Structure 1
């Protein structure tokens, strides 16, 4: 019997000490109002900072592929090459045409120079000379034909011969220019036969193999710059007005890594079918993520400026109750039990209060679990 009495006394003593300790630690605090922290969770995808699709520019068979997906390249490296044998044959034919055109230019220029130095109109074997000796023909026959006969003008004949020679030079030069243009076209096609890295990056996806026949416009590989990465999300149009470029918001990558991301781009138009706007977020350089990973971004539901929300310490909630409740201190310095509706958890072990409290009220922090309306921290 004495053992039971001692045990009962010890229990009562412990309960009294626990009650006094709770009463001693409890205090009256003011409800806080902070900038609204309500947020919507949206799914997004990790994407490279830059991404391009390299497509075939000419038709032919693929004869070289530098690497598989994930292979890294520097700017200017050849990644894929299409067989250019047919283009090389055409180039050789154009070179032969160019050589012939250049020879024609040299011949035309020689004929023009000859006409300047030794005009054909003064040739003694040409009409209207009578085949007489050159001196008689030049001094007698041709002046007589110019002045008396009236059907011949040696100056006009010389002008016509010069124009004919000059036209021949111009035509030959045009032929050379045409051949040069065709050669430039072939050289451009030869360059297009190679798909080179436009910047430093890696192959994200390879779509062809050696031996595949490709046509102009057919995708060959997807290539991206992955030193920096981004998130891309389709944001409902109702939330876009709360965002601005440069804003920093929290994100969670692959439901594991939590980080902060910065809004880098907001598309100016919305998708008419889904009524969403594409938004891109820059990830920190040290973020562990790979293109294609799933990520979640937390976007504010209200504009940051002017929007407030009520938060309280979690220790102010009465323990052991099915509905969240707190003790509110009224103007008469007495407490009353009030049910509240909670929102999302916040930092520093606090929780958001959606309804039931305002920022001008006082509550009791760390009340005992058995506290009810009327209990105050100084109560015994």
Structure 2
């Protein structure tokens, strides 16, 4: 019995050491065999995708512009007493934009009114100072007396001189009234208003500045409708006409259908490009100044049947462009393809040899 008790601690130590090694190998062996040195490498594959409109087209960069833009200028000289428009402010038609001082014009109008009173007084004197104007015969009696009352025609001369004086006084009055109307119009030009509904894109002056007639004050844009402007090379602009539909690509990858709204009649002799403006649909989500691309048909690229694959799918070292296509039983077969173009995003545009839905091996 004593010998049996002496063996119990030894058996306990043996069990403890055995358990330790079982747990150790149970945890480390799976990790060891998971190492790439022990694991069989599985090939990377990629799905052959159909070429979208952006891969079968040439992109021409452009900018979103307002449908219409105007420059609001001062119609007369003066000092800006108030400037109501601010950059980014929406204005309604005929809404006040700025106000110019009219102190000098008001003084000139007061001077014209004083001259009118003097001219009217001269006219009244010329009329009522003629002989016989205060008698019952009136003007006819004065005229007859002037013509036949004195020999030698001196009465006729005096009468004609007075008639001429009356006509001159009336002409002077008409002239002064015309000057007053012109000055009143100049006063009205001091109230600058918006010529259309739109947003203020630039403010070119500040309150307190002295401006001249024709000097720009603000720039406005009609943004209820937008356009995009492009400078297209001459060889690509052939066939571009108002009303023709195209596809627009935004900076975030959205494709928007558009139509040509305006085509410049001539070609820029420096850049050999033609300016084209396309009309954007409402609710396009674009803003003034956004960068967009107009997708034009690519010469020589198939409009249908083209696909895209990663550039790494091509077999290296082969004389012809070839790829490995995954078959139904999981093996690979080599296919010769026709590469139409290398795209900027690292993809290849394939015009023959593959179909959309095929799976190709991507070379490591």
CA 1:169/1:57 → structure 2, altered by over 3 Å: closer, same or farther?
A: same
2:142 equivalent to 1:119: yes
The number of residue pairs the alignment matches comes to: 288
Within 5 Å, give how 1:12-27 maps onto structure 2.
none
Within 5 Å, give how 1:100-111 maps onto structure 2.
100-110=118-128
Q: Residue in 2 aligned with 1:228? A: 225
2:60 equivalent to 1:63: no
Residue 68 of structure 2: SS of its match in structure 1?
strand
Q: Residue in 2 aligned with 1:269? A: 266
Match of 1:258 among 231, 255, 258: 255
2:282 equivalent to 1:285: yes
2:59 equivalent to 1:41: yes
CA 1:165/1:272 → structure 2, altered by over 3 Å: closer, same or farther?
A: farther
1:54 is displaced (CA, Å) by: 1.1
Residue 309 of structure 1: SS of its match in structure 2?
coil
Q: Which has the higher contact order (CA 8 A, sep 6+)?
A: 1
Task: Give the stretch that moved more between structures: 113-122 or 46-55.
Answer: 113-122
Q: Residue in 1 aligned with 2:208? A: 211
1:153 is displaced (CA, Å) by: 4.8
CA 1:264/1:368 → structure 2, altered by over 3 Å: closer, same or farther?
A: closer
> Is contact 1:234-1:277 (8 Å) kept?
yes
Q: Name structure 1 gaps, 5 residues minimum.
A: 1-34, 129-151, 328-334, 346-350, 371-380
Q: Residue in 2 aligned with 1:309? A: 302
Match of 2:107 among 83, 89, 113: 89
RMSD, aligned CA: 3.8
- d(CA) in 2 for partners of 1:153, 1:249: 91
The TM-score, its normalising length taken from structure 1, stands at 0.64
1:366 is displaced (CA, Å) by: 5.6
2:197 equivalent to 1:172: no
Q: Residue in 1 aligned with 2:94? A: 76
1:177 is displaced (CA, Å) by: 2.3
> Is contact 1:56-1:215 (8 Å) kept?
yes
- d(CA) in 1 for partners of 2:183, 2:111: 11
Residue 312 of structure 1: SS of its match in structure 2?
coil
> Is contact 2:307-2:354 (8 Å) kept?
no
1:247 is displaced (CA, Å) by: 1.2
1:72 is displaced (CA, Å) by: 1.4
CA 1:295/1:98 → structure 2, altered by over 3 Å: closer, same or farther?
A: farther
Q: Residue in 2 aligned with 1:191? A: 188
2:96 equivalent to 1:99: no
> Is contact 1:234-1:279 (8 Å) kept?
yes
1:246 is displaced (CA, Å) by: 0.6
> Is contact 1:255-1:295 (8 Å) kept?
no
1:341 is displaced (CA, Å) by: 1.7
> Is contact 2:79-2:208 (8 Å) kept?
yes
- d(CA) in 2 for partners of 1:99, 1:71: 47
Residue 305 of structure 2: SS of its match in structure 1?
strand
- d(CA) in 1 for partners of 2:56, 2:273: 20
1:308 is displaced (CA, Å) by: 8.1
Within 5 Å, give how 1:127-206 maps onto structure 2.
152-153=152-153, 157-158=155-156, 160-206=157-203
The TM-score, its normalising length taken from structure 2, stands at 0.66
> Is contact 1:326-1:364 (8 Å) kept?
no
Per-residue CA deviation, residues 302-346 of structure 1 (Å, 9 max, x unaligned), is 6xxxx98353264999x954346699xxxxxxx99433023599x
CA 1:170/1:324 → structure 2, altered by over 3 Å: closer, same or farther?
A: farther
> Is contact 2:143-2:159 (8 Å) kept?
no
CA 1:314/1:289 → structure 2, altered by over 3 Å: closer, same or farther?
A: closer
- d(CA) in 2 for partners of 1:110, 1:257: 87
Residue 311 of structure 1: SS of its match in structure 2?
coil
> Is contact 1:46-1:291 (8 Å) kept?
yes
